Amino acid sequence: WTDLDKVIERCGSSHTIMWRQAAAAVTLPDDLSAYQQHLNEGLRKLQGCHYQVVLRELETLKGHPDRLKEWARLGIELAERHA
């Protein structure tokens, strides 16, 4: 998939980076702890850049009806930490 380091190197702060997240990483696991580590590391790298984090191609919540709320809360908390 995308090499975030290369994107940051080429875009810097002159463009907005759309960092797309695979829906399966958010909807399939029983908890978001592994995803939290991935998101935290990426947002740390994105400090100083203009960016947006989006969830792509969502087809199912796989029995986790509150997962989108959890994902949004996690993203906001980590983005604020790395702002």
Question: In Å, how far are 3, 68, 71, 83 from 74, measured between CA atoms?
Answer: 22, 10, 5, 14
Domain extent listing, the chain = 4-81
pTM above 0.85, yes or no: no
30-41, pLDDT tens digit by residue?
A: 899 999 999 999
What tens digit of pLDDT does each residue of 51-83 get? 999 998 888 888 888 999 999 999 999 999 998
Helices (H), 1-83: 4-11, 23-27, 33-45, 67-81
